[in-house]
Structure 1
């Protein structure tokens, strides 16, 4: 199974045999890869009933739930990693969700689309409308993204909250991009965080 590029980065950096909570796990593609390739004990939380059914159909331990409301019930440090891929920008209170991630997991992976990518900027400049791109395919009125963040926004957000960045990866067209120009050149960002 071929993983989305941000998920492949996460899969490559999760320690074998770890306990993982994948929040917003979708159909469980990452969880299945972690289980099959790394011997990981993976659990998932997913909002969509159809995605929960697909993940359970893969033999995965996934429950239906909402990152905004259901993370408070998880005990402190109950997982080695808490993962939030392409989900932070869809939450109502990203700061609360991030606090829970870092409380539940000893480390946390967060990936998100970078709304400062040059194609997004160009679309706004020339078209004057919210961009629709290959990686942001929904119209403004139909997108699940309610918080549009950039790589630089996220770095500042972490600094204010005192969160340590253990690793960061940036992707453009599915390929690695330099950290130096990530805010302009990266379509996606992946951060490994620790308190």
Structure 2
């Protein structure tokens, strides 16, 4: 088995074209999987429960209301439980920070399971092209838009957004690498 050394201009790509989208864009924790925008360099930190949304279910707790009998009763120091009342528990509730994408509002940059419209998918191709350029993949934005638009217009692929972006990225990377 022999290996050949490559010059700087040849074959210096990160991975095979089929793997680039999932590995370096979709599964990248610094990139929103929904709109492909960088979220760790320009992010908004939000605290859970700040605006009344995402409050933990134990923000209130039940506290027993007790009636104390005479000290001679064998009920104990707590007395007889005659009811309960809700007590605010937010002082001890924990609200962890989370990242929200500024562009599409995706929580933690996770892709929405609902399929995108063709128009929305086309809007996201510019962000995808930016991520690919950051990786050193010289893809043409118009070619990428054309590939995504074509696949989204086919009924059998219209609801498979991740696969559409992955296939379009693969085709565009292959074309770009052949030209260079």
Normalised-by-shorter TM-score class: under 0.3
Greater RCO between the two (CA within 8 Å, min separation 6)?
2
Which structure has greater strand proportion? 1
TM-score, normalization by structure 1: 0.21
* TM-score between both structures, scaled by the size of structure 2: 0.22
